Amino acid sequence: MTQRTGRIATFYGPGKPFALKEYPVPEPEPGAVIVKMSMANVCGSDLHQWRGEFDVAKFGRPYPQVLGHEMTGTVVELGAGVSRDSAGRELAPGDRVVFRYFYPCGRCRACLKRISRACPFARAYLTHSCDEPPHFVGAFGDYHYVQPGAALFKVPDELSDPMIAGANCALAQVVGGLQLAGLRLGETVVIQGAGGLGVYATAVAKEMGAGRVIVIDGIPARLELAAAFGADELVDLRELRDADARVARVLELTEGWGADVVCELAGHPRVCPEGLRMLGRTGRYLEIGNINPGLTYELDPSWLIFGNRLILGMVYYEAEHLAQALELVARTRTKYPWERVVSHTFPLEQINEAFRAADEGRVTRAALVP
């Protein structure tokens, strides 16, 4: 049998174009799964790397890298010992799957506290160059090598690729995030930024029982999509141009109290002071978007103390959040336009154009289709 090969859109660092390169697809070790990619989204984190705001070279990681982690695909080969998905369903080549893109160790202090998202020993995809086997450790290639021990779920046939391509990053992230924030029935949620994370968070907040969801963005297509995902109020940055006006608007909508949960999903620290000011007493500020070390903002800690307010940071999520994300899409597939989050698809060979489009905000989510 001739060995299978596949392309990877290799990344050599910020400011450099991706280049397609052919690699051998390895045989799966016991417990691993080889997946043929069918859709890979350009997530905000990928953009931060592409722009150089988050450069893995600063952490001593080598180039070239394969970027991308928000994806779905079809099983082509199962390693020894894999016969079921994480929900216990039988698994076979040809099955469509979503999976967690990081692998907590299971035995460190964080894992023992069942907060595996904080595992410092998690195997993730940016630690090695894609020149090293198993090569296909990111999303922007023809294949993906799912390592042993992954949380992996079969996707029901009625869910299309665009509906579920965002499940294993953005959607699971906000599913976990709003639970971390302790969202209660009837509470008011403010969402800063209506990209993929923001529109997903809108639907998740509604489904978790939020009384009112207020979404802030300045791009008409995104605001319109947020409305389709259940937003009760839209705050348009082009109309309310300064932070004071936007804070006043949120206070007005909440009878002077402020929001119970504010989600930072815009990914820039300039939005944080205003988001914090929107928090009512006992409010929780959920920080997910700002992944770039060194970018800061000013904070008056007494605002937290005197209002009993909390700031919560969250990276990654628990495996159950991915299961919940998939269940949510399946259950509400006709209620929300899940497939519209992927607004534009590009063939893998147009990855540079896909990143430019995402960078310029011309798309909600750009997706690459090998």
Rule CB under 5 A: say whether 118 interacts with Zn ion. no
Instruction: Give the footprint of Zn ion on residues 195-234 (CB under 5 A).
Output: none
Residue closer to Zn ion, measured from CB, 25 or 200? 200
Indicate which single residue of 33, 43, 146, 247 sits in contact with Zn ion (rule: CB under 5 A).
Answer: 43
Instruction: Tell me the backbone φ, ψ of residue 14, rounded to 5 degrees.
Output: -55, 140
Which of these ranges, 155-163, 168-176, 271-279, 298-306, lies near Zn ion under the rule CB under 5 A? Answer: 168-176
Tell me the two tokens of residue 38: 């069918």
Among residues 194 and 279, whose Cβ is nearest to Zn ion? Answer: 194
Closest CB to Zn ion among residues 105, 228: 105
What is the distance between the alpha carbons of residues 41 and 200, in angstroms, rounded to a whole number?
Answer: 14
Number of residues that bind Zn ion (CB under 5 A): 10
3-state secondary structure of 240: coil
Alpha-carbon gap, residue 67 to 229, rounded angstroms:
28
Site for Zn ion (CB under 5 A): which residue of 169, 178, 265, 348?
A: 169
Quote the CA–CA distance of 274 and 241 in Å, as a whole number.
12
From residue 47 to residue 86, what is the string marking binding to Zn ion with x (rule CB under 5 A)? -----------------------x----------------
Burial status of residue 209 (CB atoms within 10 A of its CB: 0-12, 13-18, 19 or more): exposed
Closer to Zn ion at the Cβ: 105 or 312? Answer: 105
Q: Which of 67, 98, 119, 181 binds Zn ion (CB under 5 A)?
A: 119
**Which parts of 121-140 interact with Zn ion (CB under 5 A)?**
121
Q: Is 111 in the site for Zn ion (CB under 5 A)?
A: yes
Q: What whole-number distance in Å separates Cα of residue 59 and Cα of residue 127?
A: 9
* Cα torsion angle, 23, 28, 31, 36, sign: positive
CA distance 227 to 33: 38
Closer by beta carbon to Zn ion, 191 or else 278 = 191
Does residue 33 belong to the site contacting Zn ion (CB under 5 A)? no
Q: By C-beta, is 200 or 214 nearer to Zn ion?
A: 200
> Of 105, 291, 357, 369, which lies in the binding site for Zn ion, with binding defined by CB under 5 A?
105
As a three-state string, the secondary structure of 115-144 is CHHHCCCCECCCCCCCCCCCCCCCCCECEE
What is the contact surface with Zn ion in residues (CB under 5 A)?
43, 45, 70, 104-105, 108, 111, 119, 121, 169
